[in-house]
Amino acid sequence: MRRSVIIGIAGGSASGKTSIAKRLKKSFEETNSVLIIRQDDYYKDQSHMPMEERVKTNYDHPFAFDNDLLTGHLQRLLNGEVVEKPTYDFVNHTRSDVTEFISPSDVIVLEGLFVLEDEPLRHCLDIKIFVDTPADVRFIRRLTRDVRDRGRTLESVVNQYMNTVRLMHETFVEPSKRFADVIIPEGGRNEVAVDLLVTKIGSIINHNSI
């Protein structure tokens, strides 16, 4: 049985992790050989909590994620099993009722804040990438995304950034850069880095097809 290769993409909030993952998948959409898993979908379920408590959760701390479930799902995919993956409802601050059945693929791209910070998760990765984008760029992107896509107000985004996001980045995310095999400045706009990743993935897929 062919073993999937897992590529982990970490970096600060709105650094460009998702953009890179999507570009990698698009490059191989004809062969359907690349699977994307977002760590964000593994935020812990909070359906048992009232909304006023959910909004107080520090979503930029590693404890907000069910990394045990995520690590278990990766191991099952490596064993050739199909897994039922959760999805997250960012408007209601809890796990969605919708789940997704995902099958093993030649290449699994795992992207998220703490992909390199969590040791058991890190040990699942064959290639470790850190997206290094300046703080001001990340903040502007996050502000735009959260207001447009996640039902946030400008004030709430600014408060969250000042109270938790910046500190959590400096405490947990930025230090995890030392575990990276490759550091990519500027995220998906770094054409050279994306092209190199596409070439590497292509070689993995070609090797598996032999």
pLDDT at 209: 63
Do 193 and 27 form a contact (C-beta atoms < 8 A)? no
DSSP H helices in the chain: 17-27, 51-54, 67-78, 119-122, 135-149, 154-160, 166-168, 191-209
pLDDT at 210: 55
Parts of the chain with a pLDDT under 70: 1, 209-210
List, in order of start, the domains of the chain with CATH numbers: 5-209 (3.40.50.300)
Residue 184 forms beta bridges with which residues? 131
pLDDT in tens, 173-207: 999 999 999 999 877 788 899 999 999 888 888 87
pLDDT at 186: 77
DSSP state letters, 158-170? HHHIIIIIHHHII
pLDDT at 189: 81
pLDDT at 124: 95
Task: Walk across the sheet containing 5-11 and list its strands.
Answer: 34-38, 107-111, 5-11, 127-132, 182-185
